[in-house]
Amino acid sequence: MTFTLEFFVFLIWTGMTAVFRYRLPPPTMPQYKWLDPFIVNLSWSWERPSGLPHSCQIQFEAQPQDSPTQVGNGVNIFLTEEAHSDHWTYNIHAVITNPCDGWNDSISVPITIHTRQPRAEVVKDFRCLLDPSGMNCSWIPVNQSLNIVSTFTTVLQKDISFSGARNGYYLKIEPNKTICISVCTEAGCGTFTPLLAVPSPKLSINQEGGHLYLNWTPPEVGGGCDWIYEFCFTQCNEHRVSCHMEVLMHATRVHYNERCLYKFQSRVFTSKYCPAISSDFSEVVTYGVNVPPDMTGTVVAIVIPIVLSVCLILSCYCFRRHRSIICPIIPDPSAIFKELVINGNKEHKNTTGRLYIPGPEAIDPCKIILVKENGDPQQTS
């Protein structure tokens, strides 16, 4: 048991010794040198081990600390305004690129690179408006009293201009060329890539049937890029804003209500496969008019119940006032029969008194004249 444990420890020690023995030596004396405001040259020394086979191919990698990005023999871009820092730390190590008889990569050696001047926020809202001939860049100085010195990654022809609180210049450069800008004052420097913009797309609106057809004029730059159009609109004075996106198309349609006023705003930006270029939202474009709603239904719904209510009230009033005519009181039949019986007995007893007695008639006096045989009349009374 003791022999087995000792043998196991020996194997582990032998393996660790072999690994340590066949690890590449780390780079030594790392240092950096600024070649211009944008380029820093990173260098180091490294001695090839004597026992390393000649077939082994060695490559050096510089990896930013806390970043998975690895840089070989190339260019890596870091901007103070993106990192919010004036220094970066790299880890440099030697890497074997092909099988090499058990040799392993070296350990990493750190080196911290500092900017030539302290980082400072010198300008705000730095943007460049692109056109086919170049770009119109403008910014707002943080401190108007300090002199600003701008440097670019390439030699550019520029025309300086000032407009109120914003300063600017026109750069004659190809629109698809990426540039970095370094802006410095006595307080410090900042390096960044400018925000690239294009004018807001021009929107035209046509009506066909129950739809509005929206058409945009594509930007004059970025012909090889895919543009995404975003438009927002309101209708009928609604506060709710509807926004939609159209990918790779500069035309679309929306449903149209002829009784509504439509207000449109739109912007454009590139897809993720192109450099980031965007525009602001355009001015409001209107179409149609707000037509007052048809109140016939509302009026009918309000007036008819009122008229019916008034008629009902008047009917109730008239009924109460003329109730005796409309609904006369019907006597009790038993009372009628009782009254008939009583009145019948009285009439039988007083029949005489109730007979018709004609009144005396006027009689005219008359005279009778008798005629004798001899023809002489004889008056009698």
Note the pLDDT tens digit of each residue in 107-164: 999 999 998 888 888 888 888 899 888 888 888 888 877 777 676 665 454 555 545 5
pLDDT at 337 over 70: no
**Looking up tokens 């707002």, which residue turns up?**
140
Q: Do 92 and 18 share a structural domain? A: yes
Q: Do 75 and 137 share a structural domain? A: no
C-beta of residue 18 within 8 angstroms of C-beta of residue 102: yes
Q: Flag whether 77 is in a domain.
A: yes
Q: Flag whether 152 is in a domain.
A: yes
The whole-number pLDDT of residue 347 equals 55
Tokens of 85: 């820092």
- What is the number of domains present in the chain? 3
Q: Output 295 or 223, whichever has higher pLDDT.
A: 223
The whole-number pLDDT of residue 266 equals 93
Give pLDDT tens digits for 223-277: 788 889 999 999 988 877 888 887 767 789 999 999 899 999 999 999 888 888 9
Q: Do 240 and 144 share a structural domain? A: no
Q: Do 279 and 234 share a structural domain? A: yes
Over pLDDT 70: what percentage of the chain? 70
Nearest to 231 by CA among 207, 257, 254, 260: 254
* All residues at 6 or more sequence positions from 300 whose CB lies less than 8 Å from its CB, including other chains: none
Q: How far, in Å, CA of 249 to CA of 226, rounded?
A: 9
Mean pLDDT computed over 337-348: 63
b/e 109-147 (16+ beta carbons within 10 angstroms → b)? bebebebebebbebbeebbbbbeeebbbbbbebbeeeee
Q: Do 274 and 185 share a structural domain? A: no
Residue 252 three-state SS: strand
The whole-number pLDDT of residue 197 equals 92
Instruction: Give the range of the structural domain holding residue 6, as residue numbers without chain letter.
Output: 2-114
Q: Flag whether 372 is in a domain.
A: no
Long-range CB contacts (within 8 A, 24+) of 322-331? none
* All residues at 6 or more sequence positions from 301 whose CB lies less than 8 Å from its CB, including other chains: none
Q: Flag whether 76 is in a domain.
A: yes
Mean pLDDT computed over 60-81: 68
For the beta carbon of residue 70, count every other beta carbon within 10 angstroms: 14
Q: Do 110 and 11 share a structural domain? A: yes
Q: How far, in Å, CA of 366 to CA of 363, rounded?
A: 9
Q: Flag whether 318 is in a domain.
A: no
Mean pLDDT computed over 325-354: 63
Q: Do 133 and 80 share a structural domain? A: no
Q: Do 233 and 148 share a structural domain? A: no
b/e 4-37 (16+ beta carbons within 10 angstroms → b)? eeeeeeeeeeeeeeeeeeebbebbeebeeeeeeb
Task: Band the pLDDT of 374: cuts 50, 70, 90.
Answer: low
Query: Any idea how long the chain is?
Result: 381
The whole-number pLDDT of residue 9 equals 44
Q: Flag whether 260 is in a domain.
A: yes
CATH number, domain of 41, equals: 2.60.40
For the beta carbon of residue 352, count every other beta carbon within 10 angstroms: 7
Q: Flag whether 8 is in a domain.
A: yes
SS3 content of the chain, % helix, strand, coil (to 5): 20, 35, 45
Task: Band the pLDDT of 204: cuts 50, 70, 90.
Answer: very high
* Beta strands at 285-287 and 195-197: parallel, antiparallel or unpaired: unpaired
Domain limit, last residue, from 114, 148, 171: 114
Q: Do 80 and 7 share a structural domain? A: yes
Domain limit, last residue, from 197, 227, 243: 197
Residue 379 three-state SS: strand
For the beta carbon of residue 168, count every other beta carbon within 10 angstroms: 20
Nearest to 27 by CA among 113, 90, 114: 90
Q: Flag whether 344 is in a domain.
A: no
Burial of 277 (0-12, 13-18, 19+ CB in 10 A): buried
Q: Do 248 and 181 share a structural domain? A: no
Q: Do 47 and 95 share a structural domain? A: yes
CATH number, domain of 265, equals: 2.60.40.10
Domain limit, last residue, from 164, 197, 230: 197
* All residues at 6 or more sequence positions from 95 whose CB lies less than 8 Å from its CB, including other chains: 58, 59, 60, 61, 105, 106
Q: Do 176 and 134 share a structural domain? A: yes
Nearest to 202 by CA among 212, 216, 214, 221: 216
